[in-house]
Amino acid sequence: MLIVIRVFYIVAFVFYAAAAGAYLRDFLTRGSGNDARGARLWMIRFGVLLHFVGLAACVFYLRQAPFMGVFQGFGFASWVLAVMFLRISRSFEDATSVGMIIMPLAALFALVGMFAALAKVTDPLLSANPWFILHASIALFGYGAFTVAFTGAALYLILHREIKSKHLGNVFQRLPSLDQLDHMTYMAVTVGFVALTISIFTGMVWTMLRLGSLLQFDIKEIVTFANWLIFAFYLHSRHGGRGRRAAWLVILGFLVILINFLLVTVLLSSTHAYI
């Protein structure tokens, strides 16, 4: 059964990687017609479906959440990213520029997740505790939203530079407007911030049940709170602080997320090695 689950993950990765390559090629060339765009979306839909079957099989067979461990967390985050891209692609007539960033990241996360050790976690405080499951799943959902926000902010800066240089070439023609990118970034940060806040709260409840205290003062908790402050400042200053500075603030927040998700979790945290 574990081999079957892994096959679903591998096939999903193939679909994500194929779509990512198509989006990159389309953006760097003159583009393709509506039929090719539709084909790419169907590749992602098939990948999302097969990935979901693999995740569901993991839950059914192992009787635990499908993100137990760092590598499995990457696999789940990949699925979240692909689902989010399918949703936001409806907001753009041509989502090539967004897809060329989000789908390579989804493919990369899926590739990392393929190295996950599919084994039963025996600790009931991890495998069966509803507060932990809420804490981890909502955190990964928030990471996906912040990745979308990073995409919007990065494209905003690229387009702003293109306009400022007054050399409006193929990049200018393929990107959405500054207002669209700004709105996408704002909405994604809002969703991610709410998810991060709920994740922090559920994590505190889980810590209280596990250790009898709200906080462990682990380095991951400190970095997560710093991340929360960055995005809180962005949302607080949003109405009077749009533009390049706001975009750079989102990119800073996303870089902190990467550091938190990769370096801190894997090497520095003593209590968050599970995700």
Cα–Cα distance for residue pair 110/45, rounded to 1 Å: 15
Q: Are 212 and 94 contained in the same domain?
A: no
Residues 6+ apart with CB under 8 A from 215: 204, 207, 221
Q: What is the pLDDT of residue 169?
A: 61
Residue recorded with tokens 């017609």: 33
Q: Are 55 and 130 contained in the same domain?
A: no
Cα–Cα distance for residue pair 20/23, rounded to 1 Å: 5
Give the domain range for residue 244: 122-275
Residue in 229, 230, 226, 220 with CA at minimum distance from that of residue 264: 220
Q: Are 27 and 85 contained in the same domain?
A: yes
Q: What is the pLDDT of residue 266?
A: 60
In whole angstroms, what separates CA 206 from the centre of its chain?
Answer: 23
Q: Are 187 and 198 contained in the same domain?
A: yes
Q: What is the pLDDT of residue 61?
A: 80
Q: Are 139 and 245 contained in the same domain?
A: yes
Q: How many CB atoms lie within 10 A of CB 74?
A: 23
pLDDT digits (tens, 9 = 90+) for 201-259: 988 887 787 777 767 777 888 888 899 999 999 998 876 557 888 899 999 999 998 88
Q: What is the pLDDT of residue 92?
A: 77
pTM higher than the cut 0.95 = no
Residue 35 falls inside a structural domain: yes
Q: Are 151 and 263 contained in the same domain?
A: yes
Residue 70 falls inside a structural domain: no
Q: Are 34 and 136 contained in the same domain?
A: no
3-state secondary structure 205-254: HHHHHHHCCCCCCCHHHHHHHHHHHHHHHHHHHHHHCCCHHHHHHHHHHH
Residue recorded with tokens 């990213």: 81
Q: What is the pLDDT of residue 261?
A: 74
Distances from the Cα of 116 to the Cα of 23, 56, 67, 72, 213, angstroms? 27, 16, 9, 5, 31
Residues 6+ apart with CB under 8 A from 266: 70, 273
Q: Are 107 and 90 contained in the same domain?
A: yes
Q: Are 134 and 269 contained in the same domain?
A: yes
Q: Are 168 and 240 contained in the same domain?
A: yes
Q: Are 237 and 254 contained in the same domain?
A: yes
Residue segments in the chain with a per-residue pLDDT below the cut of 70: 1-2, 30-36, 69-70, 116-128, 166-173, 214, 239-241, 264-275
Residue 139 falls inside a structural domain: yes
Residue 132 falls inside a structural domain: yes
Q: Are 174 and 244 contained in the same domain?
A: yes
Cα–Cα distance for residue pair 98/76, rounded to 1 Å: 20
Domain count of the fold of the chain: 2
Cα–Cα distance for residue pair 113/164, rounded to 1 Å: 40
Q: What is the pLDDT of residue 16?
A: 95
Residue 71 falls inside a structural domain: no
Residue in 19, 143, 25, 34 with CA at minimum distance from that of residue 86: 19
Q: How many CB atoms lie within 10 A of CB 140?
A: 23
